[in-house]
Amino acid sequence: MTATNPIPIREALKLQPGQEVKVRGWVYRRRDLGDKAFVVVRDSTGIIQSVFTPESKSHSEARRVTVESSVIVSGKLREDPRAPGGKEIQGEELVIVGLAENFPIRRDVSREFLLDVRHLAVRSRKMTAVLKIRHTAFGALHEWFRENGYYEVQCPMFVSAAVEGGATLFPVKYVDESTVYLTQSSQFYLEALIYSLEKVYTVAPSFRAEKSRTRRHLTEFWHAEAEAAWVGLDGILRVEEELVSHIVRGVLERNREELALLGRDTEKLELVEPPFPRISYDKAIEILQSRGLNISWGDDLGADEERVLTMEFDKPFFLYGFPEKVKAFYHKNDPSRPEVTLSADLLAPEGYGEIIGGGERIERLDELVAKIKRFGLNPEDYRWYLDLRKYGTVPHAGFGLGMDRLVMWIAGLEHIVDSLPFPRTVARTYP
């Protein structure tokens, strides 16, 4: 009797030796020893080896099938300690659904080439593992916000003014030939929505014309942003640490296998529980100076400075109290020390650096207009944003979490481009 319906490879590996099984997927590896042809099949759940001898019906198909061909394999399961998963299929039938041409991806190809054929490289076991972790991270984010009274909202991608400074805006020629921009952040729209929903969040792409080629910059990244009325800096930091801890916990619960496949050491991830340490910008400057870096109070922190700081901590930590001039105009200044803002970044440990930026917003109209002018911007460009301070303004705070950077850190990746399937960088918009 032959098995009639294909089952996931993960399920097949759980069956007792001697049982008939049918699986379908793609040829992961193939070895033809003449009398024995080994075909390792991969599906979304795992890999299993099958072996075809001259007695089996499909011996010749197994000998001619190529890597990445799609196949349906059936036969009898048997124990084999040398096979991945400890079991293999004594192959009876192999149906070739789509015979693959010579697959261009081999062991020795360059990183650049792998990015050129990303539409094929996404099949790799490594990429599959990352995508499963990413799936968990996005799901856990939605879980947390929904369980904690936040409404999910959707904001436009075409916008008319900068949120995060003009230097990284992407202009787009609009239908009427006017110039609009791709959004850098949904923050201002979220701020408008707290007046009805109080606590809101969104997950959407943000666009930055980043000219720098770094390990952690994309031109299109996935941005999870939240905004809450009646909340101050301390309150929003508590939201951030609870949210990030919930996501890491979710991945540790659901993706042990994927983390292992990626060689991710999970010891530090296990430490990700609130509260996260909080260090002031002032203290950070002292630490950096004591480590011999050439930096003075008032300077922005770059990737190198962040890396040095992250080596001081085993878990994510907040850097708060940035000087006015290194943070965007909407950040509220500290009333007790006006040269610094009520802002904070969350930095991931182990060299990863900033994954969240956020803080308290200016709620008073006169203060906001004055700061827009101090930053050399035109209040006219922010007309509707200023309206929010005219009609029932409230204290409020929010943040933006870079999902790709979060996944990069959790999965322990070297480069942000490996955290998502089809990365967009200064050098790449294909495939």
Residues that bind ligand 4AD (CB under 6 A): 163-164, 185, 187, 208, 210, 217-218, 221, 223, 225, 354-358, 398-400, 402, 404-405
Q: Please, what is the angle between helix 125-147 and helix 233-254, to 10°?
A: 140
Residue 365's SS3 state is: helix
Q: What is the smallest separation between the CB atom of 322 and ligand 4AD, expressed in angstroms?
A: 11
Rounded distance between C-alpha atoms, residue 133 and residue 406, angstroms: 11
Rounded distance between C-alpha atoms, residue 216 and residue 220, angstroms: 12
CA angle, 371 then 375 then 379, to 5°: 65
Q: Which is nearer to ligand 4AD, 104 or 171 (CB)?
A: 171
Which of 415, 396, 401, 127 minimizes the C-alpha distance to 246? Answer: 401
Three-state SS sequence of 86-152: HEEEEEEEEEEEECCCCCCCCCCCCHHHHHHCHHHHCCCHHHHHHHHHHHHHHHHHHHHHHHCCCEE
DSSP classification of residue 401 = E
Q: Which is nearer to ligand 4AD, 64 or 215 (CB)?
A: 215
Q: Are 93 and 76 in contact (CB under 8 A)?
A: no
Q: What is the smallest separation between the CB atom of 93 and ligand 4AD, expressed in angstroms?
A: 48
Q: Which is nearer to ligand 4AD, 68 or 225 (CB)?
A: 225
Beta strands, E only, 136-275: 151-152, 158-159, 170-173, 179-182, 199-207, 220-229
Q: Which is nearer to ligand 4AD, 52 or 189 (CB)?
A: 189
Q: Which is nearer to ligand 4AD, 25 or 400 (CB)?
A: 400
Q: Which is nearer to ligand 4AD, 52 or 317 (CB)?
A: 317
Q: Which is nearer to ligand 4AD, 172 or 303 (CB)?
A: 303
Q: Are 180 and 160 in contact (CB under 8 A)?
A: yes
Q: What is the smallest separation between the CB atom of 404 and ligand 4AD, expressed in angstroms?
A: 5
Q: Which is nearer to ligand 4AD, 52 or 281 (CB)?
A: 281
Q: Which is nearer to ligand 4AD, 194 or 308 (CB)?
A: 194
Q: Which is nearer to ligand 4AD, 21 or 224 (CB)?
A: 224
Rounded distance between C-alpha atoms, residue 307 and residue 151, angstroms: 35
Counting every residue written for the chain, the total comes to: 431
Q: What is the smallest separation between the CB atom of 342 and ligand 4AD, expressed in angstroms?
A: 12
Which of 354, 290, 270, 271 minimizes the C-alpha distance to 320? Answer: 354
Per DSSP, the residues of 260-283 read HHTT---TTGGG--SPPPEEEHHH
Q: What is the smallest separation between the CB atom of 134 and ligand 4AD, expressed in angstroms?
A: 14
DSSP classification of residue 302 = -
Rounded distance between C-alpha atoms, residue 172 and residue 181, angstroms: 5
What would the two tokens of residue 184 be? 């850098």
Q: What is the smallest separation between the CB atom of 170 and ligand 4AD, expressed in angstroms?
A: 12
Rounded distance between C-alpha atoms, residue 147 and residue 284, angstroms: 35
Q: What is the smallest separation between the CB atom of 359 and ligand 4AD, expressed in angstroms?
A: 7
Q: Which is nearer to ligand 4AD, 226 or 285 (CB)?
A: 226
Residue 34: phi and psi, rounded to 5, are 85, -85
Q: What is the smallest separation between the CB atom of 327 and ligand 4AD, expressed in angstroms?
A: 9
Q: What is the smallest separation between the CB atom of 411 and ligand 4AD, expressed in angstroms?
A: 15
Q: What is the smallest separation between the CB atom of 217 and ligand 4AD, expressed in angstroms?
A: 4
What would the two tokens of residue 335 be? 């009333």
Q: What is the smallest separation between the CB atom of 213 and ligand 4AD, expressed in angstroms?
A: 11
Non-local (6+) Cβ contacts of 148 within 8 A are 199, 239, 242
